[in-house]
Amino acid sequence: MSVIAPNFKLSEFIKSLLDNAFWGLLLLVLVGVPAVFMILFFIEMPVINGELLTPFLALTWLADPSRILPVVHAFMATDIFRVMAFPGFGFAALLAAATIFVERKMLAKLQLRVGPFYCGKFEGILQLMGDGLKLISKEIIIPAKADKPIFWAAPVLFVAAAASFVAFIPVAPGWVVADVDLGLLGVFAVIGFFPIITILSAWSANSKFPFIGGIRALFQMVSFEIPLILSLLGVVMLTGSLNLSEIAASQSSFPWIVFLPIGAIVFFITMLAELERIPFDLPEAESEIVAGWLTELSGMMYGLVQLGTYLKLYAFAGLFVVLFLGGWNGPMVVPPFPAEILTDGIVMGPVTAKIPGLPLFTQEMLNGALWFVLKTVAVIFFILLPRGVFPRIRIDMLLNLGWTKLIGLAFVNIFIALGLLYAGVLGPGGLQ
């Protein structure tokens, strides 16, 4: 039984919900609707197509799918939708939130624990919502001797940098926020901002543990940036493009991991280090330096940094998918939109609804997004997995790995790519 809420009864919970709904409805009918009508009494309503636009007429129009769907279509073509909802922030934040929950639960199962259990009655499914509410409602404590402007700005900048990283990732053909010609260079530029934000946040807290964590983060990120960039050069050579959409589209028959497995392995290891994940989580080593560079952050500032971290995780996994696993390419598994709905409309007994404006998404887009999400989730799973298995390694071993082994392997990868190109296996006249 639950220890946290011993007097909890599901029947009483449902009764309280129904009570609230009843009182809400009563207040709406007795106060809300008359108030709206009293306000409408003084407003001169426009006449459209010879009809006075009464609230009833407006609601009728709003409920009519043939009038609303074109509006939805037009909205989906706007930049705001792309930035806020689908390939941009909303989609990434949803995947990031799912990642947090799956990570906690999966890690618990790996270590024979239970994990989140009480929130939401079934396997702690509402734990994330509870954590979010807790973070929002907690007080934000600023250390007395902190450098306040930088300390306030750092979490926001962290989320902003992570979101701009997300903007470069193409999800389906044509569905990308920023389809720039030099997308991969933009990604390198954005990755270069994370150590700055980390070290500034760590320094501005004016406390020992954040500063030690910040210095560790700086060492780690700066030294792993070089093998990261070098390991991706092979893909750029084979594709002849820095545009991420073109790189994804170039892998329609073979993903590059078939030809460049060493580059993929090097990129995966550097990815773990850039994301500060076990076995490279020295910047937040919780058993040594409290919480590393996050020690002094509290409340929603900590929440923002966590959101940024998991957005970054999604973006790195998406980058791995786009560069090495073929992006959105995959066999067509989504069925085509039923043609009889377009010609005859939806028949429900005696009622037939003809809806122009369907389908909302093309078959290619749905299929591409499906394959991209499946591959990204698989990569995220492999990023999470070491956390249940490996211990943390020492900082000198980490730097040794980055500077000597990974850079050497990245050069080997570049020479493999050059060899494939000059031998005529790939490129003009070759396989792709």
Q: CB-wise, 195 or 308, nearer to another protein?
A: 195
Binding status of residue 203 toward another protein by CB under 8 A = yes
- Exposure string of 253-283, with b = 16+ CB inside 10 Å and e = fewer, is eebbbebbebbbbbbbbbbbbbbbbbbbbbb
Please identify which residue in 146, 218, 244, 289 interacts with another protein, judged by CB under 8 A: 218
* Cα–Cα distance for residue pair 119/4, rounded to 1 Å: 10
Binding status of residue 160 toward another protein by CB under 8 A = no
Binding status of residue 79 toward another protein by CB under 8 A = no
Q: Segment near another protein (CB under 8 A), from 101-109, 218-226, 348-356, 413-421? A: 218-226
Binding status of residue 191 toward another protein by CB under 8 A = yes
Please identify which residue in 95, 146, 169, 199 interacts with another protein, judged by CB under 8 A: 199
Q: Segment near another protein (CB under 8 A), from 42-50, 162-170, 174-182, 306-314? A: 174-182
- CB of residue 266 vs another protein: minimum separation in angstroms? 16
Region 374-413 residues binding another protein, contact defined as CB under 8 A: 394, 399-400, 403-404, 407
Q: CB-wise, 241 or 432, nearer to another protein?
A: 241
Binding status of residue 69 toward another protein by CB under 8 A = no
Q: Segment near another protein (CB under 8 A), from 28-36, 120-128, 214-222, 338-346? A: 214-222
Residue 126: CB atoms within 10 A of its CB come to 16
Please identify which residue in 189, 332, 360, 423 interacts with another protein, judged by CB under 8 A: 189
Number of residues lying near another protein (CB under 8 A): 27
Binding status of residue 228 toward another protein by CB under 8 A = no
Residue 356: is the preceding peptide bond cis (ω within 30°)?
A: no
* Cα–Cα distance for residue pair 336/178, rounded to 1 Å: 28
Q: CB-wise, 68 or 180, nearer to another protein?
A: 180
Please identify which residue in 118, 188, 268, 337 interacts with another protein, judged by CB under 8 A: 188
- CB of residue 199 vs another protein: minimum separation in angstroms? 6
Q: CB-wise, 111 or 404, nearer to another protein?
A: 404
Please identify which residue in 87, 124, 155, 195 interacts with another protein, judged by CB under 8 A: 195
- CB of residue 290 vs another protein: minimum separation in angstroms? 20
Q: CB-wise, 181 or 288, nearer to another protein?
A: 181
Q: Are 157 and 199 in contact (CB under 8 A)?
A: no
Q: CB-wise, 218 or 264, nearer to another protein?
A: 218
* Cα–Cα distance for residue pair 142/89, rounded to 1 Å: 28
Find where tokens 């069925």 sit: 335
Binding status of residue 415 toward another protein by CB under 8 A = no
Q: Are 415 and 231 in contact (CB under 8 A)?
A: no
Contact set with another protein (CB under 8 A)? 147, 150, 180-182, 185-186, 188-189, 191-193, 195-196, 199-200, 203, 215, 218, 222, 225, 394, 399-400, 403-404, 407
